[in-house]
Amino acid sequence: MINFGIVGLGRIGKVHLSNLQYYCPQAKVIAASPLKPKHKAFLEEQGIVHHCETFEEMMEVPGLDAVVIASPTAYHYEHILQAAKAGKHIFCEKPIDLNYEKVQTVTQTVAAAGIQFMVGFNRRFDPHIQQLKSIIEEGKIGKLRILKITSRDPAPPPMAFIKDSGGLFLDMSIHDFDMARYLVNDEVTQVYAHGSVFGDLPLEQYEDIDTAVITLVFKKGCMVQIDNSRYSTYGYDQRVEVFGENGMTATQNVLDNTVQIANATGHHTARSKHFFIKRYAESYRNILLDFIDTLIHKQSPNIPAEEGLAALAIAMAAKKSLKEKTPISIS
């Protein structure tokens, strides 16, 4: 049994905690921090024994093996260093940090500590994406030429979140940058980003945007186009298309249900799953199960810190490209 602690009990922290308690038979959460009155009932309902005022206090809980870091991004770095010093394995939400040098330090620190570290790029573990990956690896569509990723949110997050998020590229698009690397299985050499503010939020004050189109060029020639929006009126839009020399493969949106109505006005289906927690619910469970499996079998994690560093480099290049209005090369 792997005993977990968790820091951060916001929306995603609660998802991870519940998944560990109910879907991961070889793991359980025994401690959580920071302790806030509004979280007390939830923690008691989840059977959490140790309610810790601080992260440091949680690191001292007897029998603690690993920690889930779901705190705000600004706290990831210090939590990672403290957990590594305490010898705890780490599952960290993306992005690891907004600073490239700090993420480099993380990769070195976890290696020196001899602990396992996994980045929470959960979409790799979505069954639809995994099937897409298998089709590519089996050579069914031949050498990859074009990849298209559409990722559109139904609404932007609160301004209080946006101001510290690092912006659309580091908070939202970073999932797509990781997805592109995962599916293409190659490294990006060039990034060209275009973006704008179409909604009514004053995002310019944080040098942010709500809509973007990003082109990635990979070392072996594959080209990737990603389009992002924070205003999708018809629901959470998540589609991927891969075009190769011998054909194409694609995923479509997952709907709320499979019921179809056909009448004189046409064929009608349900809307797409409304947001990421529902659309990617299975992937959030699968990624934790995979992490736990690597701990039990003492294997290297499938998404180590270096993967987070690579996605961050693309996100930073996209920000620079948007600002300078020119393609940016990545060495």
Handedness of CA 11, 14, 20, 23 (dihedral sign): negative
Element (H, E) at 268: strand 266-269
- pLDDT class for 38, splitting at 50, 70, 90? confident
SS3 state at 183: helix
Q: Are 275 and 232 in contact (CB under 8 A)?
A: no
Instruction: For each of the domains in the chain, give its residue range(s) and CATH number, in order of start.
Output: 2-115 (3.40.50.720), 124-284+310-329 (3.30.360.10)
d(CA 148, CA 259): 28
DSSP structure string for 276-329: HHHHTHHHHHHHHHHHHHHHHTT---SS-HHHHHHHHHHHHHHHHHHHHTS-EE
pLDDT single digits (tens) 218-237: 999 999 999 999 999 988 99
pLDDT single digits (tens) 258-306: 999 999 999 999 989 888 999 999 999 999 999 999 999 999 999 999 9
d(CA 123, CA 175): 7
Stated pTM of the model = 0.95
d(CA 172, CA 156): 10
d(CA 157, CA 153): 9
